[in-house]
Amino acid sequence: MVEELQIIKKEQIKTKPTPNPLKWYIFTFILLLLTYVIYDILRYDDVVKIDDKGQPQITDDRKRKLGEDTLRFYNSAEQYALVATRNDWYECLSCGDSARIFLHIGEVWKYGVTINGEQVRYSKNELIEKGLLYLPQLQGSLQRCLSEERKKIIEYPLLPEISRENQSIV
- Report whether pLDDT(94) > 90: no
Q: Are strands 56-58 and 77-84 parallel, antiparallel or unpaired?
A: unpaired
Question: Above 70 in pLDDT, residue 24?
Answer: yes
Q: Tens digits of per-residue pLDDT, 116-163?
A: 888 788 888 999 999 999 999 999 988 999 999 999 999 888 877 666
- pLDDT-derived band at 107, boundaries 50, 70, 90: very high
**pTM reported for the whole predicted model:** 0.56
Are 133 and 82 contacting, i.e. CB atoms less than 8 angstroms apart? Answer: yes
Is 83 a residue whose pLDDT tops 70? yes
CA angle 163, 82, 169 (to 5 degrees): 35
Q: Which residue has the higher pLDDT, 32 or 87?
A: 87
In three-state secondary structure terms, 96 is coil
Write down the domain spans for the chain: 21-50, 76-158
